[in-house]
Amino acid sequence: MKRLIVIFTVLFSLSVYSQKIPVNYNEQVDELMEKNNDSLTSLQKISSFINTSFQKEPDKCRAIFFWVTKNIAYDPELIYTYRTNHNNPKLVMEILETRSGICTGYAALMDTLCKLCKLHTWIVEGSTKQSFLPSVIGHAWNAVKADGEWKIMDATWGSGHIKNQKFMKARMDHYFFPGPQQLIQTHLPIDPIWQLLARPVSLHQFHNGGNSTVKTDWKYTDSISAFLALSEIEQISTMIRRLTGFGNNSEVTFNYYNYLKTKEAEYQVKKLNHAGRVYNQASDLFNDYISFKNKQFNPLKSDAEIAKMIPTMEALIKQSKEEMAAVPKQFTENNGFYLESMQKHYKELESRLDVEKVFVKKYLATPKNRRKELFYVKVYGTVK
């Protein structure tokens, strides 16, 4: 499988915000979290305390942001590390155990705590601009729904900054619920719906500070709701389409695009394999049926049970064929031999089922005291 190689890194020293940052949270939340910080040592304890202490969704968000930015340190030694898959439970356990990590760990921990606090959340992956690193680098942060509105929290950048290759812890509150127009100056989500902008910018416009050329306002809230209601594969396909439309020619977006395409291909191959397994179920049942018939339908089964045997196999074959047909053509072209083989198997088993269907129909229509004779006489034609 082709591996996704994306550098995940984070902290920067060039601020695009004014020095005076308006407070957009309840300061009492910070005070209560600070007071109880020493006792909040596990996911269960943290989430339980937050759910008990705060009722409003923005306050829960702030409590989570406060705990993570206070207790988790960025690890500069890992600044150029990367991960090729999203194993969030493992990331969360690692960052809780070491109390340090990079943006993927921060984002996974924030996401987990939000879910434990009954908040709708999404890990946003994308690109950032920084003053001392290449202009576009991989990063991860969080979107959370509070009081019906999607907001952004970047606990990684909000926890401090790097100076002389050392992490300096200093909470930066402008990364708690920053305005979308502010955040787009430094953060570009791979999927444009997470810009939370009515008129999102393209990759090129992000690079060059240009204005969006989208002609009509996006209803991104509706788009997010529809997106989250999709299955995983539908989400992947939708992201591929949007990413294609908004540009995938940076290293980060190009690699992520390939990652999505790989995930899409893996899913379709799984569908092909599942269709094969469903056919095998039908084949196994047919072998069981033939063994049962060779024993003159002993041990005895009810007529209702016998009547269901052939239709059950036919239903499995139908399911297998439908699953096979549902795989898009571009994913079946490289599996031509497999598909040709499956078509032969379908034809053979269906032909044998047609013969046995005639026998079962004749068997059930025959008086019980005459049925044993059928096992010594081949039934030809269609029973009417």
Mean pLDDT of 256-275: 89
CA 287 remoteness from chain centre? 39
pLDDT at 151: 97
Each residue's pLDDT tens digit, 160-198:
988 888 888 899 999 999 999 999 999 989 899 999 999
Three-state SS annotation for the chain: CCCCCCCECCCCCCCCCCCCCCCCCCHHHHHHHHHCHHHCCCHHHHHHHHHHHCCCHHHHHHHHHHHHHHHCEECHHHCCCCCCCCCHHHHHHHHHHHCEECHHHHHHHHHHHHHHCCCCEEEEEEEECCCCCCCCEEEEEEEEEECCEEEEECHHHHCEEEECCEEEECCCHHHECCCHHHHCCCEEECCHHHHCCCCCCCHHHHHHCCCCCCCCCCCHHHHHHHHHCCCHHHHHHHHHHHHHHHCCCCHHHHHHHHHHHHHHHHHHHHHHHHHHHHHHHHHHHHHHHHHHHHCCCCCCCCHHHHHHHHHHHHHHHHHHHHHHHHCCHHHHHHHHHHHHHHHHHHHHHHHHHHHHHHHHHHHHHCCHHHHHHHHHCCCCCCCC
Query: Residue 284: what pLDDT?
Result: 97
Q: For position 248, what pLDDT does the model report?
A: 62
92: Cβ–Cβ under 8 A, 6 or more apart, which residues? 43, 105, 108, 109, 112
Q: Helix crossing, 103-116 with 88-98: angle to 10°?
A: 100
User: What pLDDT is stored for residue 16 in this prediction?
Assistant: 36
Least reliable range by pLDDT among 221-225, 238-242, 346-350: 238-242
Is the pLDDT higher at 316 or at 202?
Answer: 316
Which pLDDT score is estimated for 319?
97
Instruction: Give the pLDDT confidence score for residue 337 in this predicted structure.
Output: 78
Phi, psi angle pair for 167, to nearest 5°? -80, 125
Mean pLDDT value across residues 141-164? 94
Rounded average pLDDT over 290-296: 95
What ranges do the domains of the chain cover? Answer: 27-189, 265-376
Report whether pLDDT(146) > 50: yes
Per-residue pLDDT, averaged over 262-282, amounts to 92
Phi, psi of 8 (to 5 degrees): -105, 115
What pLDDT shows up at residue 76? 78
Residue 119 has pLDDT above 50, yes or no: yes
pLDDT at 287 over 50: yes
Q: Radius of gyration of the chain from Cα atoms?
A: 30
**pLDDT for 80:** 62
CA 160 from centroid of its chain's CA atoms: 30
Share above pLDDT 90 across residues of the chain, in percent, rounded to a whole number:
59
Quote the pLDDT of residue 41.
93
The string of pLDDT tens digits covering residues 7-63 is: 334 443 333 333 344 567 789 999 999 999 999 999 999 999 999 999 999 999 999
pLDDT value of position 377 = 65
Phi, psi at residue 83, to the nearest 5°?
Answer: -130, 145
Please check the confidence at residue 209 and state whether its pLDDT lies above 90.
no
Amino acid residing at 66:
F
Q: Of residues 153 and 218, which shows the higher confidence score?
A: 153
* Residue 352: predicted pLDDT: 97
CATH fold for the domain made of 27-189? C8orf32 fold (3.10.620)
Bigger pLDDT: 327 or 85? 327
Q: How far apart are CA 339 and CA 323, in angstroms?
A: 12
Residue 271 CA to residue 265 CA, distance in Å, equals 10
359 near 306, Cβ under 8 Å? no
Per-residue model confidence as pLDDT tens digits over 335-344: 677 888 899 9
Whether the pLDDT of residue 3 is over 50: the answer is no
In this prediction, residue 52 carries a pLDDT of 97
Band (316; pLDDT cuts 50, 70, 90):
very high
pTM, two decimals, is: 0.75
